[in-house]
A and B are shown apart, each in its own frame.
Chain A
Amino acid sequence: MTILIFLLLAALTIGCAVAMVAQRNPLYSAIALIGVFLGMAGIYVTLAAPFIAAIQVIVYAGAIMVLVVFVIMLLNVEEEVRRPIRLRRLVPLGVLLAAIFFAEAAFIIYFVETSAYNPPPATQSNVGLTASVGTGLFTKYLLPFEITSLLILMAIVGAITLARRVSTLEGGRTRLRATEETRSQTSAD
């Protein structure tokens, strides 16, 4: 039963991933990416990590992708035009690298997996539960957690600085230079 659910979710995830790359309409790609995130959330549930699954949906599918869809809708991005492949000589190299990657994966699945390593049954694991994630974040991994928060804060401040584009005048005074884009954006708001 579990393997059946896993296969369904894996098919959804991989199918959506392929569709995301193959689609030329950017909005279709975005929808396919949402499908990938939902499929992955389902796989997390089967791996007994419900908290991570919920966060995956809330953060990636619910917040980040909404922004992506928003931007695509606002800018009305055109469909990609099919162009002839440049760097034709690199195609064999790409095929070779892909073959190596699949060989590696097959090696791991058929030789490493069957060795002495026995994963604990999924029901006994507490890795993905809310309480264990919370205590882990605020005790053992506090420093990485704080550093990540700081990095995100820096990114936000940087984004705001870039968006405002303050230029310095000769007199030392600063002036807000509203570019054509920001002006149209504020009027759209």
Chain B
Amino acid sequence: MDLSNPYIQAALQFLAIFITFNVVLMIVAYTVLAERRILGFIQGRLGPNRVGPGGVLQPFADLLKFIFKEEIVPDKSTRFVYFLAPIIAVTSAMMTLIVYPFGPRVTLPYFGQVELVIARFDIALLYVLAVTSIGVYGIALAGWASNSKYSLMGGLRSSAQMISYELSLGLSLVGVILMSGTLDLYEIVEQQSGWYGFKWNIFPQFIGFVVYLTSAIAETNRVPFDLPEAETELVAGFHTEYSALKFALFFMAEYINMFTVSVLATTLFLGGWNVPGLALLFAPGSIPFAVFSVIGFFVKVFFFLFLYIWLRGTLPRFRFDQLMAFGWKFLLPVALLNVVLTATLVWLGVL
């Protein structure tokens, strides 16, 4: 088999994307379970622990339940848009998964030197921003097409929220881009290796990191920014009228977005797959080095996912005007200040 053949490369690429999608869906399923159990422990109860040992088969039971539930389509909904919305939500959430580097260069038998990233290209970071900006339509159109006042209000709220926080999210990334001088995620990660972890961007870009984390939580519509599904006011927000598998798609999109946002935080601020001091134990490029790097990467990602769940267990919800004021009057100026500060320091040659 000739590995330089473009068709074989394309086939391998497809295989890698297929595996990634499945792995991420499994991670998502178990994030849901972890969320329910951790929330249970925070609230002094057990959480789901009946299906399988310790509840490990719960996600599959949930999936089966979603598949066999009755699908109810509102009578006066706009059919085409109503069916299109969950598809947009899930597709745009999954499309970003392929650009994240999850491991270092490794020399494998037979394959030679491999970079552990599925698609590496010049504008990976812009690609992520572009695809996530499409995700707004899933929610806005779902709210509109359901022909229900709760859905419409939820959809409008959440798209207003996502548009507002997208600005500070983008601006908080500019600091990292200015420092590394590239939009290629793989290179951004490589620049953060060495110095036993003190080269991670979180140290010079701490303001950017905090702004990113805050606006990322708002972007994914999670507590304390989960206004779109404020149960007491809006029933279930934009997905009030969605049932069975279509609801499951929105649910899945939300958790995939959580995962990608955590991966992006790891990649840009926490050094991606860099594990401090690992180069002392194994030679860079060897297989054990790569294995432990990948494990380190996922440990960081799971830390962020845990943070999400932890916040959900502890914080109350914002009011809508507070949310908007916080985004526009506090987060955006801070992000702008961070950009100006970083640009000045880079210009002076300090960073």
Is B159 on the interface with A (CB-CB < 8 A)?
yes
Per a CB cutoff under 8 Å, which of A1, A69, A74 touches B137? A69
Is A6 on the interface with B (CB-CB < 8 A)?
no
Most buried by B among A34, A38, A69, A74: A69
- Size class of B's contact patch? 20 to 34
Q: Report yes or no: A57 in contact with B144, Cβ–Cβ below 8 A.
A: no
Known contacts A54-B126, A73-B155, A74-B156; is-contact A62 B81 (Cβ 8 Å): no
Per a CB cutoff under 8 Å, which of B6, B80, B134, B141 touches A57? B134
A73 to B152, CA, bound (A): 8
Contact string, A12-34, partner B, CB cutoff 8 A, digits 1/0?
A: 00000000000001011001001
Is B136 on the interface with A (CB-CB < 8 A)?
yes
Is B19 on the interface with A (CB-CB < 8 A)?
no
Is A58 on the interface with B (CB-CB < 8 A)?
yes
Known contacts A28-B80, A66-B140; is-contact A57 B130 (Cβ 8 Å): yes
Per a CB cutoff under 8 Å, which of B78, B131, B159 touches A70? B159
Q: Report yes or no: A73 in contact with B156, Cβ–Cβ below 8 A.
A: yes
Q: Find residues 191-215 in chain B having any chain A CB closer than 8 Å to their own CB.
A: none
Is A130 on the interface with B (CB-CB < 8 A)?
yes
CB neighbours of A57 from chain B (8 A): 130-131, 133-134
CB neighbours of A74 from chain B (8 A): 156
Per a CB cutoff under 8 Å, which of A34, A58, A63, A70 touches B126? A58
A51 to B123, CA, bound (A): 7
CB neighbours of A55 from chain B (8 A): 126
Contact string, A33-65, partner B, CB cutoff 8 A, digits 1/0?
A: 010001001000000001100110110011100
A178 to B47, CA, bound (A): 53
Q: Report yes or no: A66 in contact with B123, Cβ–Cβ below 8 A.
A: no
Q: Report yes or no: A27 in contact with B130, Cβ–Cβ below 8 A.
A: no
Contact string, A81-102, partner B, CB cutoff 8 A, digits 1/0?
A: 0000000000000000000000
Q: Find residues 113-160 in chain A having any chain B CB closer than 8 Å to their own CB.
A: 129-130
CB neighbours of A61 from chain B (8 A): 130, 133-134
- Size class of A's contact patch? 20 to 34
- Whole-angstrom distance from the CB of B145 to the nearest CB of chain A? 9
A55 to B127, CA, bound (A): 9
Q: Report yes or no: A70 in contact with B137, Cβ–Cβ below 8 A.
A: no
Per a CB cutoff under 8 Å, which of B121, B122, B133, B152 touches A62? B133
A25 to B159, CA, bound (A): 21
Q: Which residue of A lies closest to B143 (CB)?
A: A73
Is B311 on the interface with A (CB-CB < 8 A)?
no
CB neighbours of A38 from chain B (8 A): 134
How many contacts between A and B, using CB within 8 angstroms? 69
Known contacts A57-B130, A58-B129, A66-B159; is-contact A73 B123 (Cβ 8 Å): no
A1 to B6, CA, bound (A): 11
Q: Which residue of A lies closest to B153 (CB)?
A: A188
Is B38 on the interface with A (CB-CB < 8 A)?
no
CB neighbours of B130 from chain A (8 A): 41, 54, 57-58, 61-62
Q: Which residue of A lies closest to B10 (CB)?
A: A1
CB neighbours of A41 from chain B (8 A): 130
- Whole-angstrom distance from the CB of A36 to the nearest CB of chain B? 14
Q: Report yes or no: A31 in contact with B84, Cβ–Cβ below 8 A.
A: yes
Q: Report yes or no: A66 in contact with B163, Cβ–Cβ below 8 A.
A: yes
Is B183 on the interface with A (CB-CB < 8 A)?
yes
A130 to B184, CA, bound (A): 11
Most buried by A among B78, B126, B130, B156: B130
- Whole-angstrom distance from the CB of B83 to the nearest CB of chain A? 12
A73 to B140, CA, bound (A): 9
CB neighbours of A73 from chain B (8 A): 140, 143-144, 152, 155-156
A129 to B123, CA, bound (A): 8
CB neighbours of A66 from chain B (8 A): 133, 136-137, 140, 159, 163
CB neighbours of A62 from chain B (8 A): 130, 133-134, 136
Q: Which residue of A lies closest to B320 (CB)?
A: A189
Contact string, B158-196, partner A, CB cutoff 8 A, digits 1/0?
A: 010001000000000000000000010000000000000
Q: Which residue of B lies closest to A67 (CB)?
A: B163
Known contacts A31-B81, A50-B123; is-contact A69 B140 (Cβ 8 Å): yes
Q: Report yes or no: B129 in contact with A27, Cβ–Cβ below 8 A.
A: no
Q: Report yes or no: A130 in contact with B140, Cβ–Cβ below 8 A.
A: no
Contact surface of A with B, Cβ cutoff 8 Å: 1, 25, 27-28, 31, 34, 38, 41, 50-51, 54-55, 57-58, 61-63, 66, 69-70, 73-74, 129-130
Enumerate 6 A-B pairs (CB-CB under 8 Å) in ascending A order. A27-B78, A31-B137, A34-B137, A62-B134, A73-B144, A73-B155
Could you list 17 further interchain pairs (A-B, Cβ under 8 angstroms) beyond the known A61-B134, A73-B144, A73-B155? A27-B78, A27-B81, A27-B144, A31-B84, A34-B137, A50-B121, A54-B126, A58-B129, A61-B130, A62-B133, A62-B134, A62-B136, A66-B137, A66-B163, A70-B140, A73-B143, A129-B122
